[in-house]
Amino acid sequence: MSSASFSTDVYLDRLSRVRAAMEERGVDVVLLSVGHDLPYVTGYLAMPLERLTMLVLPLRGDATMVIPRLEAPRVVEQPGAFGLLPWGETEDPVELVAKLVGGAQSVAVGDQMWARFLVDLLPKLPSARFSRAVDVVGPLRARKDAAEVAALTAAGAAADRVAAQLHAGEIPLIGRTEAAVSADISARLIAEGHDIVNFAIVAAGENAASPHHHAGDRVIMRDEVVLCDFGGTMNGYCSDITRCVYTGSAPTTEIADAYAVLHASNAAGYEAGRIGNDCQDVDRAARKVIDGAGFGDYFIHRTGHGIGMEAHEDPYMVEGNAQPLAAGHAFSVEPGIYLSGRWGMRLEDIVVATDDGPVLLNHADRSLVTVEA
């Protein structure tokens, strides 16, 4: 739905680069369904429903999009890129896909394709070896071109404006529930230009120690950390930012000292986001600061994830990922410190690796701002 649209030339170029990657990896055919690999190469985002939409993309020969007949009118055709094969309500789309795959041996399937369709394909393609299409398409999607960086920059600026409203006290906190503040932030993301809101985590006090806390009925009080992690999709590209604020008055020394460590960790991760480093170097740099301050056991997740058409995508900033950073890699740097049952904090920006070093896409105040209301 909220998918970027480019000229046909862009899709033809991307398809050509996908085919080059297929050849390099020995992949005969790529199958793309729900998820964002499909719009990356066709401009069309499949509806996540039980009716199968699937692009059958062979190394050589024409690509075909198998699509429910009633959804076919939604597709903007890209001449030369792919053909449409609409199926009727009483046909078996998996059979159509299997015929198009034919005798192909090495079949790469999209990450988020529903497993039911792969289960149905297995007996129809008994000699096929299956692999993950993300290994073919992911490295291409990970390197954003200028238009994509511009879209991410615009989405980041819109999220920054909401963060600034939070800092300015325009989003009242004390006495409201997390859920009410989450709805307020969501409305502001839309008002600032996002097409959809992907998440708006609001976690107060002890709830902030659960990194993916779902905003609930907990009422925000004075003198606590409120963690706000929010983002949406704007013109097909995502924002994602985390800022913590302190309610009522100045934070305690314990909180202020921990936050200083967090802030330094975020800065170290950003600095490490440069060409010549691996993805895991970003994680190591951010983690080293937190480890050094004695909070290592309380930083319980990786430092970041790639971002683009999806809020989470390749490359991941995690120990064990030795993939070298390249120009156009866009990713989050989001260290956190979580003391179970007490408090939590996280500081997140989006960074793009460029030939001139890391570039921040978020500029909202990174300090632990006190919000009085």
Binding site for a copy of itself (CB under 8 A): 1, 33, 47-50, 69-71, 73-74, 88-90, 109-120, 122, 130-132, 134, 209-214, 300-302, 305, 312-313, 316, 318-320, 340
Q: How far is the CB of 67 from a copy of itself (least distance, A)?
A: 11
Q: Which is nearer to a copy of itself, 111 or 148 (CB)?
A: 111
Q: How far is the CB of 232 from a copy of itself (least distance, A)?
A: 14
Q: Buried b / exposed e across 97-134, counting CB within 10 Å, b at 16+?
A: bbebbeebebbbbbbbbeeebbebbeeebeebeebebb
CA distance 205 to 220: 8
Q: Which is nearer to a copy of itself, 117 or 237 (CB)?
A: 117
Q: How far is the CB of 38 from a copy of itself (least distance, A)?
A: 13
Q: Which is nearer to a copy of itself, 215 or 371 (CB)?
A: 215
Q: Which is nearer to a copy of itself, 88 or 276 (CB)?
A: 88
CA distances for 11 relative to 76, 80, 139, angstroms: 12, 10, 16
Q: How far is the CB of 196 from a copy of itself (least distance, A)?
A: 11
Q: How far is the CB of 261 from a copy of itself (least distance, A)?
A: 19
CA distance 72 to 74: 5
Q: Where are the beta strands (DSSP E) in 248-372?
A: 304-306, 313-317, 330-333, 336-339, 343-346, 349-354, 357-360, 369-371
Q: How far is the CB of 365 from a copy of itself (least distance, A)?
A: 26
Q: Which is nearer to a copy of itself, 116 or 222 (CB)?
A: 116
Q: Which is nearer to a copy of itself, 116 or 363 (CB)?
A: 116
Q: Buried b / exposed e across 59-81, counting CB within 10 Å, b at 16+?
A: beeebbbbbbeeeeeebeebeeb
Q: How far is the CB of 331 from a copy of itself (least distance, A)?
A: 13
Cβ neighbours of residue 272 under 8 Å, at least 6 residues apart? 281, 282, 284, 285, 286
Q: Which is nearer to a copy of itself, 279 or 364 (CB)?
A: 279
CA distance 93 to 54: 9
Residue that the structure tokens 């919000």 belong to = 371
Q: How far is the CB of 189 from a copy of itself (least distance, A)?
A: 14
How many CA atoms does the CB half-sphere of 184 hold within 13 Å? Answer: 17
Q: Which is nearer to a copy of itself, 14 or 305 (CB)?
A: 305
DSSP assignment string, 298-331: G--S-SEEE-SSSSSEEEEE-TT--PBP-TTBEE
CA distance 282 to 268: 8
